[in-house]
A and B are shown apart, each in its own frame.
Chain A
Amino acid sequence: MSIIKALIVACLVAIVVSLGSALFHLVHDKGESKKMARALTVRVALSVALFVLLFIAWSLGLIQPHGIE
């Protein structure tokens, strides 16, 4: 696996972890703390970063989408 693909997968894993952290705070904090909202903010920021990373990697020719010619 190329470095760029590993980076994309690592980014996805980080997104899932932040989403999981938000679920933990949803179950345990009972609406009182801001931890869930913060974890979801991290999740959104990472997702936007991943989308930008994908676009940069594609425009630099490091990664190609699937296709049947």
Chain B
Amino acid sequence: MAHAQTTPAPSEKYYVPHSSPWPIVGAAAMFTTVGGAAMWINGANAGPWAFIFGLALLATMFIGWFGAVIRESEGRLYNEAVDRSFRMGMMWFIFSEVMFFAAFFGALLYARQFSVPWLGGEGTKLMTKILRGDEFEAAWPTNGPANIGGDFRVIPAWGLPALNTAILLTSGLTITIAHHALKAGKRIRLNVSLLLTVLLGFTFVYLQATEYIEAYHEYNLKLSTGIYGSTFFMLTGFHGFHVTVGALMLTVVWFRCLKGHFTPTHHFAFEGAAWYWHFVDVVWLGLFIFVYWL
């Protein structure tokens, strides 16, 4: 029959999953989380509770949904078409992440290279400075002519920031060792290197938290400390959040490795999480260079 000839073989078709409750649970979780945050900001008593409940629901959705995907993958229900769609999804996710950080790095660049020099009277903005009549000299770091947030100091580059850079670089090294070990089928080396990567990741987050406490109490450097404080905390804060997410992903991948998941040619979850880890490492390098040095 002509119909039979045009129908692809089962192995080439997409795997169509059974109906799943997770999309609607995810939508409800996001609605509750954001709604709770909005109520909280506006002083409603139920705000924090709704927010926490939303987050718990979100975590349940992630665990349930990803768990289903892992079981389907391990059940060999996925074929090449599904594999391709995962890889395309990863590419677009990364594209959005690059754009996200480009916006914050762009804000830092614009403030430093354009706004602050203009406030200092550079180029055609001399009249701005004369009319304002203050003594503001364009220099970086700054919290502007209004000295927003008061006098502050910056965190020395060779203190915690350099230590954190070394920690992330080492974790980049250990994840690469794990990657090669997985490819070579050396499971013990894979498990040990991946565990080290996860531990180094959480150590980074811990040290970053202590750095924030120090910045607030010792240096008077806050989110509200003018343009320097806001760009510093927005960039390093969102980066720290990404490291936390990356470390959580690697933790799940590590448990999967312990259970014997992944083969030398079939390990997309590992590849995705590993690449993401390299990405947050490179973002930190950019931060370390542009925030502390250049």
Contact = CB atoms under 8 A, between A and B. Distances in A.
Interface of A: 5, 8-9, 12, 15-16, 19, 22-23, 26-27, 30-32, 34, 36-37, 40-41, 43-44, 47-48, 50-51, 54, 58, 63, 65-68
A65 B282 CA distance: 19
Nearest to A43: B278
Contacts of A43: 172, 278, 282
B180 A68 contact: no
B268 interface: yes
Q: Which 5 A-B pairs have the closest CB atoms?
A: A65-B157, A44-B172, A37-B179, A27-B87, A44-B176
A54 B293 contact: yes
B153 interface: yes
The A contact surface, by secondary structure, is: helix
Nearest to A54: B293
Contacts of B84: 30
Contact of B156 (A9, A12, A50, A65): A65
The B contact surface, by secondary structure, is: helix
A5 B293 CA distance: 9
Interface string B158-178: 100000011001001100100
Interface residues of B, number: 44
A54 B291 CA distance: 14
Contact of A8 (B173, B271, B293): B293
B289 A47 contact: no
B188 interface: no
Given A8-B293, A27-B91, A44 B169 contact: yes
Contacts, number: 98
A32 to B, nearest CB: 5
Contacts of B140: 66
A23 B275 contact: yes
B176 A19 contact: no
Nearest to B262: A31
B285 A12 contact: yes
A27 B165 contact: no
Interface string B247-282: 000000000000000000111100110110011011
B154 A27 contact: no
B34 interface: no
A30 B285 CA distance: 28
B278 A22 contact: yes
Contact of A26 (B154, B265, B272, B286): B272
Contact of A27 (B88, B153, B267, B293): B88
B154 A67 contact: yes
Contacts of A63: 293
Given A40-B275, A63-B293, A68-B141, 4 more contacts: A15-B285, A27-B87, A31-B271, A47-B169
Contact of A65 (B158, B165, B172, B265): B158
B172 to A, nearest CB: 5
Contact of B286 (A5, A12, A58, A65): A12
Given A31-B265, A34-B183, A26 B172 contact: no
Contacts of B40: none
B294 interface: yes
Contact of A47 (B141, B271, B285): B285
Contacts of A15: 282, 285
A40 B87 contact: no
B83 interface: yes
